[in-house]
Amino acid sequence: MNAKLFKVLILILTPLVTLLVLSTLTSCGDAISRFNDGCTATEDGFVYYNRYTNDGAHIVELPDVEELVIPEYLNNEKVKGIGYRYTELGYVKYYLVVSENTKKLTIQHQFLVQDMAPHYYADFPNLKTLVFIDFLYCNAVSKTEELLVTYHIGKADKSKLPNVELRKTNREFSLDEFISKTILIPDYVKIIETDVFAALIDVVIKTTYESQPVGWQDGWNGNCEVEWGAEIKYN
């Protein structure tokens, strides 16, 4: 290619490239604006997105508190997830939720949290206590034969295991979509209240404990068979 032709191409392509860059920047700015327009802030410090999802609220910001309860509903919108992946044509942004100050986290229903690297949609790095209210309701739609009582919501860190508590209310719920046949309970589970697993039939509970520990109330397992001293692996 001779120098004259090269200069002509530069003169032609330069405005086109500039236009493309400006168009991309404008498009990204418009996408961010549209996402922000779809977000709602609550008086107690939650921010959620639901403009285009049509499937409930996705929390993208949390209150800065030590004891945090994830609500089942925000402004009559069911909470379907924490964190969010927002996409438009040519634009992707991950909204990741990190709560540095939360020491105690309470979960009371089932929702989606991406916990696969590199995008952990939620992270509670200083968590000391994780509470499940009605553990079976929090896992009513199970997808595996074995269900592990987890120690994390979002990003996992085995070097800082919180104490896990399973507590029970009188809430009624269906287990029609619960398919798990084995419940796995490691020794980070310190409290289980009576009848937490009472609704289960033909399910075996395996735990690393050799015998019923202090903190597990009588009748915690309902009619489930219990296998003590089991080897349980978890990530």
Domain extents for the chain? 128-235
Q: Are 153 and 122 a contacting pair, CB within 8 Å?
A: yes
Burial bucket for residue 174 (CB in 10 Å: 0-12, 13-18, 19+): exposed
pLDDT of residue 120: 73
Name 116's Cβ contacts closer than 8 Å, sequence gap at least 6. Answer: none
Contact 190, 163 (CB under 8 A): yes
Task: Report the share of the chain in percent with pLDDT over 90.
Answer: 64
Task: Look up the pTM and report it.
Answer: 0.84
pLDDT band (50, 70, 90) for residue 36: confident
Region 33-46: what's the mean pLDDT?
86
